[in-house]
């Protein structure tokens, strides 16, 4: 039996030799016979010179041909021997070893020789598969490669042991395990490739860490991008108590997390592609919090710290932790870091555009981004202009003067219109323009952009339908708005229908159809019950707040409906249900105040309104009602009422009730001209007042 089959020679170009069983012969002698086409003579020369049997000599001869680049010649040699029969003859040698541990000293040498023989024969099958691959006969190559692994599993029925395995045999097995799924992919047999990958990662092949990592990474990429639905692994391959992935995405994420753990333990080298694939996979399932944890665990020096901060900011922004995200971006954009990083500037501007009190900071980020959007980044000018427009519009809401507010709103629309020249097919830009024009009561233009947004998104985004319905309601076209809500319900899933159904109920109220509105709320409550059963009773507060059908908003809306009908007992019942879900909220205290006011309990109503303002100081409905109550307390309270109503109008200039009550205050104070102006503003706004504030969808 052969114990090896290596070329030996030094770097000085001395003649190569084949050394097996302690005997050596020059490779040139065998190659000369092969060049003459005398395969049988070359085989005989190897058998006699190196004491090999037929299969071993042919295996060594085929390897020699393959290494010389003569793939077709190697294949002819491999085809001339029965490699599978040789494997079957080798099986008893290994089974004998496992059965007789008492005679270890005597059997070790025999088994060692058997391993070397198996190494030659298995390598021959592997090289045959490689030869077939190079010749384009991929299906045959995959079958030959599979036969290597089948043979190894027959020989080592308990898996390849960690020690006392011939290095060349282990190398052949590792290469075959790595090659087989790639061959099936080249053939186009994705399900066979999937089976090969699972066989590679779940069976005991004694692979080294780097080889195993390569296979796991390729398997994860295959699961993410092949388009083949893998399904969970078979029950036989699952370890009791271990996590079993349910689909491609879960299995890919599991593999990539295993690779990250191996890196942290120092078992494999850092591979940036693993992090890229993990980022993609976790982003697909909105699990950026897990991605953030992985980024935080990576040792310093792997990423530039500014890149790590930017990536973490993106993760935190995606899960709604805008404060943490913005703090990271501020560090990244520090003058000693990368103050002109365009993507960080745009992300910071976007985060700031969602908060009135951060909008001024966002304006600076957006303007810096615009000044840096040059050359190859000029296409991002549209994004910069859009962020600038959003920040300006948001900042206008907290402006201290009418002139400043008007100027900022004008600049905001100018920036958004400018963005449309760069991004004339951007659906989000259509939506932003629609909301801005709607808030300024330019309803015909707002309607046009709302329709463009629905066309651009194919009606697949809920907020587009909501914007269109609100614009139509502001035009007092309630029946058309109801048609829009019905269309939206047809386009959305059951769990996403909550906001549209609440809007539909308000449309019914606006059309003086309270019983129809009550029926809509009953359907919403049925959805709430179904949602609770579907997702289970043991849910945390954050999960309840994220519900598509928000139970608190349903009970609060129903309480407002009964309040409009002066059904105070029903209002109290609905408020009790809502308080079980959220004990303290400005909305509920506002409704409670309306109930007390309707029952003639002025002091209790005032207490409820003030408590609401303590919770949310800028809550406009309560400011308006407190102002109206103070206006009824006599001439000394008029300045307080005027101040409250003016502050409400500073926050929400289009609040018709604030204009109306301010008009009453001016009238009682003897300012008839000012009162007339306020009443005229209230009248004009009533003609274009939506059933729900446009800011609720911005």
Band of residue 28 on the pLDDT scale cut at 50, 70, 90: confident
Q: Cα torsion at 79, 81, 87, 88 (round to 10°)?
A: 120
Scanning the structure block, which residue is given the tokens 């047809």? 490
pLDDT tens, residue by residue, 146-166? 998 988 888 777 767 665 567
pLDDT in tens, 35-49: 666 667 777 777 666
User: What pLDDT, on a 0 to 100 scale, did the predictor assign at position 54?
Assistant: 75
Mean pLDDT of the chain: 86
Specify the range with the lowest mean pLDDT, choosing from 290-294, 334-338, 530-534, 546-550: 546-550
Check pLDDT > 50 for residue 544: no
Residue 75 above 50 pLDDT?
yes
Give the dihedral of Cα atoms 210, 212, 215, 221; nearest 10 deg.
Answer: -80
Report residue 47 as tokens.
């058998």
| Over residues 226-250, mean pLDDT | 73
Find the mean pLDDT for residues 91-117.
Answer: 52
Of 217-231, 425-439, 527-541, the poorest mean pLDDT is in: 527-541
Q: What percent of the chain has pLDDT over 90?
A: 62
CB distance 498 to 550 below 8 Å: yes
53-67, 157-171, 430-444, 562-576: segment of lowest average pLDDT:
157-171
Provide the pLDDT for residue 60: 82
d(CA 379, CA 485): 37
Tell me the per-residue pLDDT of 553-597, one tens digit each, with 9 for 90 and over.
Answer: 999 999 999 999 999 999 999 999 999 989 889 999 999 999 999
pLDDT for res 342: 96
Q: What is the pTM of this model?
A: 0.79
Give the mean pLDDT of 7-16: 45
Q: For residues 148 and 180, what is the distance between their CA atoms, to the nearest angstrom?
A: 10
Which residue is it, tokens 């043979």?
A: 151
Give exposure, 569-592, as e/b (b: 16+ Cβ within 10 Å): ebbeebbebbbebbeebbbbbbbb
**pLDDT attached to residue 14:** 44
* Mean per-residue pLDDT, 660-666: 95
Res. 540: pLDDT tops 50: no
Q: Which of 4-8, 18-22, 225-229, 480-484 has the lowest mean pLDDT?
A: 4-8
- Residue 413 CA to residue 396 CA, distance in Å, equals 12
Looking at the predicted structure, is the pLDDT value of residue 395 above 50? yes
pLDDT greater at residue 103 or residue 70:
70
The 10 Å CB-count burial string (b at 16+, else e) for 404-428 is ebeebbebbbebbebbbebbeebbb
Residue 436 is predicted with a pLDDT of 94
Higher pLDDT, 24 or 249: 249
Q: What is the pLDDT of residue 169?
A: 85
* Two tokens, residue 546: 């994220």
Q: Starting at the edge strand that comes first in sequence, how are the strands of the sheet with 6-8 ordered?
A: 6-8, 17-20, 23-26
User: What mean pLDDT is predicted for residues 659-675?
Assistant: 93
d(CA 133, CA 185): 12
Look at residue 101 in the predicted model and tell me its pLDDT: 46
CB burial of residue 397 (10 Å; 0-12, 13-18, 19+): buried
pLDDT confidence bin for 93, thresholds 50/70/90: low
Query: 248-264 and 288-297 helices cross at what angle (nearest 10)?
Result: 10
pLDDT at 541: 41
- pLDDT per residue as tens digits for the range 239-288: 555 677 888 999 999 999 999 999 999 999 999 999 999 999 999 999 99
Residue 504: which pLDDT band, with cuts at 50, 70 and 90?
very high
Considering only 94-108, 131-145, 249-263, which range has the smallest mean pLDDT? 94-108
Q: Which residue has the higher pLDDT, 112 or 379?
A: 379
At residue 536, the pLDDT reads 53
Lowest mean pLDDT among 4-18, 387-401, 629-643, 645-659: 4-18
- Indicate if the pLDDT at residue 492 is higher than 70: yes
Q: Once rounded to an integer, what is the mean pLDDT over residues 193-197? A: 94
């Amino acid at each position: 039996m052969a114990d090896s089959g290596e070329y030996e020679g030094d770097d000085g170009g001395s003649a190569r030799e084949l050394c097996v069983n302690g005997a050596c012969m020059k490779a040139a002698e065998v190659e000369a016979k092969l060049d003459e086409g005398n395969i049988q003579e070359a085989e005989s020369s190897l058998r006699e010179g190196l004491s090999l049997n037929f299969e071993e000599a042919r295996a060594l001869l085929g390897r020699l041909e393959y290494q010389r680049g003569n793939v077709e010649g190697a294949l002819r040699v491999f085809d001339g021997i029965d490699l599978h029969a040789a494997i079957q003859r080798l099986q008893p040698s290994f089974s004998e070893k496992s059965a007789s541990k008492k005679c270890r000293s005597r059997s070790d040498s025999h088994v060692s020789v058997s391993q070397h023989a198996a190494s030659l024969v298995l390598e021959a099958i592997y090289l045959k598969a490689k030869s077939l691959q190079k010749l384009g006969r991929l299906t045959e190559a995959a079958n030959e490669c599979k036969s290597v692994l089948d043979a190894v599993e027959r020989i080592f029925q308990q898996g390849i042991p960690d020690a006392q395995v011939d290095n060349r045999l282990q190398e052949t097995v590792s290469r075959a395990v790595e090659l087989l799924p790639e061959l099936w992919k080249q053939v186009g047999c994705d399900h066979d490739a999937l089976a090969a990958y699972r066989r590679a990662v779940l069976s005991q092949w004694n692979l080294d860490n780097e080889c195993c990592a390569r296979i796991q990474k390729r398997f994860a990429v295959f699961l993410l991008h092949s388009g083949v639905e893998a399904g969970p692994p078979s029950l036989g391959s699952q370890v009791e108590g271990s996590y079993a992935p349910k689909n491609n995405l879960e299995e890919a994420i599991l593999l990539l997390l295993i690779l990250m753990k191996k890196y942290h333990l120092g078992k494999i080298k850092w591979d940036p592609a693993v992090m890229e694939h993990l980022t993609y996979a976790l982003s697909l399932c909105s699990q950026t919090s897990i991605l953030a944890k992985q980024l935080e665990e990576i040792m310093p020096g792997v990423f530039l710290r500014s890149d790590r901060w930017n990536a973490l900011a993106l993760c935190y922004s995606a899960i709604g932790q805008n404060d943490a995200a913005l703090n990271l971006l501020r560090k990244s954009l520090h003058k000693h870091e990368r103050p002109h990083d365009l993507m960080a500037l745009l992300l910071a501007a976007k985060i700031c555009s969602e908060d009135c009190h951060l909008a001024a900071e966002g304006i600076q980020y957006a303007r810096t981004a615009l000044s840096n959007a040059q050359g190859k980044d000029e296409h991002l000018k549209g994004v910069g202009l859009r962020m600038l427009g959003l920040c300006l519009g948001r900042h206008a809401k907290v402006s201290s003067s009418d002139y400043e507010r008007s100027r900022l709103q004008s600049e905001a629309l100018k920036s958004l219109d400018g963005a449309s020249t760069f991004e004339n097919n951007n659906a989000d830009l259509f939506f932003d323009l629609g909301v801005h024009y709607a808030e300024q009561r330019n309803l015909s233009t707002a309607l046009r952009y709302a329709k463009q947004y629905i066309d651009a998104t194919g009606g697949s985004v809920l907020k587009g339908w909501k914007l269109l319905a609100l614009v139509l309601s502001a035009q007092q076209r309630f029946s058309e708005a109801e048609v829009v809500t019905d269309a939206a319900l047809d386009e959305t899933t059951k769990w996403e229908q909550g906001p549209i159904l609440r809007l539909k109920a308000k449309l019914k109220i606006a059309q003086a159809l309270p019983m129809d509105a009550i029926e809509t709320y009953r359907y919403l409550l049925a959805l709430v019950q179904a949602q609770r059963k579907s997702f289970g009773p043991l849910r945390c507060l954050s999960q309840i707040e994220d519900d598509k059908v928000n139970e608190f908003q349903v009970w609060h809306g129903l309480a407002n409906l009964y309040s409009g009908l002066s059904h105070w007992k029903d209002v109290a019942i609905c408020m009790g249900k809502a308080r079980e879900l959220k004990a303290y909220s400005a909305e509920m205290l506002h409704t409670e105040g309306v109930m007390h006011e309707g029952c003639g309990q002025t002091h209790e109503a005032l207490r409820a309104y003030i408590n609401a303002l303590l919770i949310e100081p800028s809550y406009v409905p309560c400011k308006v009602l407190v102002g109206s109550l103070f206006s009824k307390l006599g001439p000394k309270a008029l300045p307080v009422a005027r101040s409250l109503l003016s502050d409400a109008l500073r926050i929400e200039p289009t609040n018709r009730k604030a204009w109306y009550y301010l008009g009453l205050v001016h009238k009682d104070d003897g300012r008839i001209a000012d009162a007339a102006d306020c009443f005229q503003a209230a009248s004009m706004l009533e003609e274009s007042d939506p059933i729900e504030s446009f800011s609720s969808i911005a």
